[in-house]
Amino acid sequence: MTFRAKPFLALLFGGGFISIDDAASLKAQGPLPDGPGKEVLQEACTVCHAVSMITGTRRSPVDWGNTVDDMIGRGAPLMEGERALLLQYLAKNFGPASSRININQATSKQLETGLALSAKEAEEIVRFREQNGNFRTWDDLGKVPGVDLKKIEAKKDQVSF
């Protein structure tokens, strides 16, 4: 394992800060599958994120790459060469559960994790579907208030009606 300097404070998405002791408790949450890249994830990702935030997310290799690049830009402590190892681990263990998400059958949680939607957007899709019936076209999906259709269209290869 490589040595990493521990940051004094870690920035969270909500704009708050946590202490190193709190960050250490985030690392301890939940089991992770064994394999190359596990230690990198534990050392780099759990500085700011709970393990459940990672294990509850399913993304394609491209989406994981975008996420990791974003986190590196925000200061994730990855050493040279660790990015590829981390991406392999994430894609293998937390890749898409299935190749397509049926927008007419998926739960709000499946929509949220599978299409990287906010919880509110996913709930709005389900609510709209329950009130108005199944979606047949992209235009139908565009009628859901509070949902950015472009966000879903960007993942159109993962969506079915």
What is the 3 state secondary structure string of 19-34? EHHHHHHHHCCCCCCC
Q: What is the DSSP string of 118-159?
A: -HHHHHHHHHHHHHH----SHHHHTTSTT--HHHHHTTGGGE
Q: What's residue 46's pLDDT?
A: 87
pLDDT band at 98 (very low <50, low <70, confident <90, very high): low
Q: What's residue 40's pLDDT?
A: 93
Residue 26, token pair as written in the block: 């985030």
Q: What's the rounded Cα separation, in Å, for the pair 95 and 161?
A: 21
Q: What's residue 149's pLDDT?
A: 87
Q: What's residue 133's pLDDT?
A: 95
The mean-pLDDT minimum among 11-25, 49-63, 83-97 falls in 11-25
Write the DSSP symbol of residue 53.
H
Q: What's residue 27's pLDDT?
A: 41
User: What pairing do the DSSP bridges indicate for beta strands 17-19 and 9-11?
Assistant: antiparallel
Judged against a pLDDT cut of 80, whether residue 13 lies above it is answered with no
Q: What is the pTM of this model?
A: 0.47
Q: Which residue has the tokens 């969506």?
A: 159
